């Protein structure tokens, strides 16, 4: 694996056709779609919510923001996520093959902090998919991966030092059989002491296993897990196809759900139990497989991206920026696409999507974008199949 550190390098488009497809890869089953709205749109104004992602009013003496750019932090073999506790000097980078590396702000560790590659099926959309740090007990790290049978596992590992996790400390918290090798979901993240897990609909194409609207299964949903007792997992929200990445900001959840053949979507909702995002009744803002459908009771996406828009095929979310270096963009949600490699953002304010921006002309194409993450200062990073990038400001 390549781990050469390259600091301060601006990245041009880099795309490889020989790498494995990550978890968000769409399917090719045929479908018939019709618009739920009077006309096709790329953004959708949701119903007003009592909760809003509000930007802080920038009070800064920084020079005027001119543009954004990518800086390459490190060359890595298929990183999928970066995470850190707020204020921490150390960040952790998960690789799809089952390794975790530490990053201290200037260099990536030579040796992995954790290597469980012998327990991970790294094949196509399966692999080591996400990590999360316990928000209060710093010796605990949690991981979501595909085991050697291809089934979903969520485990806890214990730090023996800040740069070493004991692979023998693994405590399995949750497992679920996967009927197919795709749509395994991906992300795990903490909120109010619970660990949330995004799971896909079981794979195949067109929700062939009937899980999207089935509340008797955890597949196709956001699952709430207890990490401290034997409480049963809870299907918290459902109607998802493949939520490869979601982001929690206050009591809002941003879900980038990978579409089938035609539409990708970003959903924003309160982190309330029982929300139904509509799959397979809908794909994006359109009926899926039928010419007409009943959308009553569904939470529709706030952003829809049609396939072919900048090469889009498989949406990759995404973080709400809360860092210090770019206060002008506080509260803005950033997202990309595995095929398109663009960088876009919007602000969700008073229940509406505003200030939609496409930054790609400034930052350049990143290549195959597999994920996002933040360091201990809240600064935004992007993972591709070949590198870890940081988004940095250019100021006048």
- For 14, the 3-state DSSP assignment is coil
State pLDDT tens for residues 173-192: 999 999 999 999 899 999 99
Sequence-ordered list of residues with C-beta below 8 angstroms from that of 79, at least 6 positions apart, any chain:
93, 94, 95, 96, 370, 371, 383, 384, 387, 388
Looking at per-residue pLDDT, the higher value among 291 and 50 belongs to 291
pLDDT band per the 50, 70, 90 thresholds, residue 61:
confident
Distance CA 261, CA 357 (A): 24
Per the rule left: phi > 0, alpha: psi between -120 and 50, beta: everything else, 90 is beta
**Could you tell me which residues are beta bridge partners of residue 315?**
337
Q: Which CATH superfamily groups domain 33-395?
A: TolB, C-terminal domain (2.120.10.30)
**Quick check: 27 pLDDT over 70?**
no
Q: What is the mean pLDDT of residues 96-101?
A: 98
User: Looking at the predicted structure, is the pLDDT value of residue 53 above 90?
Assistant: no
| Residue 11 confidence (pLDDT) | 29
Q: Give the whole-angstrom CA distance, residue 288 versus residue 204.
A: 16
Q: What tokens were used for 252?
A: 């809002």
Instruction: Decide: helix, strand or coil at residue 118.
Output: helix
Helices (H) and strands (E) in the chain, counts: 1, 27
Task: For residue 218, give the nearest of 227, 230, 209 by alpha carbon.
Answer: 209
pLDDT more than 90, % of the chain: 83
């Amino acid at each position: 694996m390549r781990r050469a550190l390259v600091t301060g390098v601006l990245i041009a488009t880099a795309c490889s056709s020989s790498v494995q497809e990550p978890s968000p890869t769409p399917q090719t089953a045929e479908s018939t779609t019709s618009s739920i709205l009077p006309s096709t749109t790329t953004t959708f104004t949701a119903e007003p919510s009592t909760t809003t992602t509000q930007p802080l009013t920038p009070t800064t003496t920084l020079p005027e923001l001119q543009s954004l750019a990518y800086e390459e932090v490190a060359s890595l073999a298929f990183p999928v996520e970066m995470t850190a506790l707020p204020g921490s000097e150390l960040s952790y980078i998960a690789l799809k093959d089952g390794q975790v590396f530490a990053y201290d702000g200037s260099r990536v560790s030579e040796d992995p902090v954790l290597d469980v590659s012998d327990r991970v099926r790294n094949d196509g959309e399966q692999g080591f998919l996400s990590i999360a740090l316990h928000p209060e007990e710093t010796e605990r790290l949690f991981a979501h991966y595909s085991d050697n049978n291809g089934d979903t596992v969520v485990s806890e590992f214990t730090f023996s030092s800040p740069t070493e996790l004991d692979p023998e400390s693994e405590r399995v918290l949750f497992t679920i059989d996967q009927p197919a090798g795709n749509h395994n979901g991906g992300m795990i993240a903490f909120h109010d002491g619970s660990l949330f897990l995004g799971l896909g609909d079981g794979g195949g194409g067109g929700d062939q296993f009937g899980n999207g609207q089935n509340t008797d299964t955890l597949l196709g949903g956001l699952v709430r897990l207890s990490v401290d007792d034997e409480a049963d997992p809870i299907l918290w929200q459902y109607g998802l196809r493949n939520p490869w990445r979601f982001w929690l900001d206050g009591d809002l959840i941003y879900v980038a759900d990978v579409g089938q053949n035609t539409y990708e979507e970003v959903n924003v909702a309160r982190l309330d139990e029982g929300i139904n995002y509509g799959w397979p009744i809908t794909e994006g803002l359109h009926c899926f497989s039928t010419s007409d459908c009943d959308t009553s009771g569904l939470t529709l996406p706030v952003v829809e991206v049609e396939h072919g828009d900048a090469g889009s095929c498989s949406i990759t979310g995404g973080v709400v920026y809360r860092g210090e270096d770019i206060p002008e963009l506080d509260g803005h949600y950033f997202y990309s696409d595995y095929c398109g490699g663009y960088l876009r953002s919007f602000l969700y304010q008073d229940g509406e999507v505003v200030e939609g921006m496409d930054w790609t002309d400034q930052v350049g194409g990143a290549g195959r974008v597999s994920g996002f993450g933040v360091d201990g200062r809240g600064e935004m990073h992007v993972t591709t199949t070949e590198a870890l990038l940081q988004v940095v400001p250019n100021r006048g």
